[in-house]
Amino acid sequence: MTQIDRAVGFLQGCGMYHGDVDALACTRRFLDDMEAGLAGRPSSLRMIPTFVEVETDIPLHRPVLAVDAGGTNLRVARVEFDEAGPRLSGFERHRMPGLDGEISAPAFFEALAGRVRPVAAGADRLGLSFSYPAEILPSRDGRILGLSKELRVAGIAGQLVGAQLCQALHATGVAGDLHFVVLNDTVGALLAGRAARAGQPAARQVGYVLGTGLNCAYVEDNGGIGKLPGLAAGRQVVNVEAGNWSGAPRGVIDRALDAQSAEPGTYLLEKAVSGAYLGALCLRTLRAACDEGLFTTDASACLREWPRLGTPQLDPFLSARPKPEGLAAELSRRGTGQDLALATALASAVVERAAQLAAVVLAAAVLRTQGPGGPTVRATVDGSTFYKLPTFRQRITSWVERILAGRHALEVVSVDHAALVGAAVGGLTN
Q: Based on the domain organization, do 208 and 295 belong to the same domain?
A: yes
Give the integer Cα–Cα distance in Å for 54 and 57.
8
Q: Based on the domain organization, do 41 and 88 belong to the same domain?
A: no
Q: Do 207 and 386 meet the contact criterion of CB atoms below 8 Å apart?
A: no
Give pLDDT, residue 148: 64
Residues with Cβ < 8 Å from 36, sequence gap 6 or more?
42, 43, 45
> Mean pLDDT for the chain?
92
Q: Based on the domain organization, do 354 and 262 belong to the same domain?
A: yes
Q: What is the DSSP string of 182-234?
A: EE-HHHHHHHHHHHHTTTSPP-EEEEEEESSSEEEEEEEEGGG-TTSTTPPSS
Q: Which helix (H) or strand (E) holds 403?
A: helix 392-404
Q: Tell me if residue 138 falls in helix, strand or coil.
A: coil
In a domain, 59, yes or no: no
CATH number of the domain bearing residue 119: 3.30.420.40
Give the integer Cα–Cα distance in Å for 268 and 249.
10
Q: Based on the domain organization, do 134 and 171 belong to the same domain?
A: yes
Longest dimension (CA), the chain: 71
Give the integer Cα–Cα distance in Å for 243 and 362.
12
Q: Based on the domain organization, do 290 and 144 belong to the same domain?
A: no
In a domain, 128, yes or no: yes
Q: Based on the domain organization, do 207 and 263 belong to the same domain?
A: yes
Q: Based on the domain organization, do 69 and 46 belong to the same domain?
A: no
CA 418 to chain centre: 12
In a domain, 91, yes or no: yes
Q: Based on the domain organization, do 160 and 247 belong to the same domain?
A: no
Q: Based on the domain organization, do 110 and 71 belong to the same domain?
A: yes
Give the integer Cα–Cα distance in Å for 216 and 394.
18
In a domain, 112, yes or no: yes
Give pLDDT, residue 210: 96
Last residue of some domain: 153, 183, 213? 183
pLDDT by residue for the chain (430 residues), tens only, comes to 788 888 899 999 999 999 999 999 999 999 999 999 999 999 999 999 999 988 888 899 999 999 998 777 899 999 999 888 899 999 999 998 888 888 888 998 999 899 999 988 888 999 999 888 888 899 999 999 877 656 788 888 899 999 999 999 989 888 778 899 999 889 999 999 887 766 666 678 999 999 989 999 999 999 999 999 999 999 999 999 999 999 999 999 999 999 999 889 999 999 999 999 999 999 999 999 999 999 999 999 999 999 999 999 999 999 877 777 899 999 999 999 999 999 999 999 999 999 999 999 999 999 999 887 778 899 999 999 999 999 999 999 999 999 999 889 999 999 999 989 999 999 999 8
| Among the listed residues 45, 24, 19, the one whose alpha carbon sits nearest the alpha carbon of residue 360 | 24
Ramachandran assignment for 51, one of left (phi > 0), alpha (psi -120 to 50 degrees), beta (any other): left
Q: Based on the domain organization, do 228 and 375 belong to the same domain?
A: yes
Give the integer Cα–Cα distance in Å for 48 and 55.
19
In a domain, 423, yes or no: no
Q: Tell me if residue 142 falls in helix, strand or coil.
A: strand
β-strand partners of 116: none
In a domain, 364, yes or no: yes
| Among the listed residues 200, 216, 198, the one whose alpha carbon sits nearest the alpha carbon of residue 373 | 200
Which residue range(s) make up the domain with 224? 1-50+198-416
Give the integer Cα–Cα distance in Å for 150 and 131.
12
CATH number of the domain bearing residue 261: 3.40.367.20
Judge residue 336's burial from the number of C-beta atoms within 10 Å of its C-beta, 0-12 exposed, 13-18 middle, 19 or more buried: middle
* pLDDT tens digit sequence for 329-368: 999 999 999 999 999 999 999 999 999 999 999 999 999 9
Q: Based on the domain organization, do 382 and 254 belong to the same domain?
A: yes
Number of domains in the chain: 2
Q: Based on the domain organization, do 203 and 163 belong to the same domain?
A: no
In a domain, 421, yes or no: no
| Among the listed residues 421, 372, 413, the one whose alpha carbon sits nearest the alpha carbon of residue 201 | 372
Give pLDDT, residue 202: 63
* pLDDT tens digit sequence for 404-413: 998 899 999 9
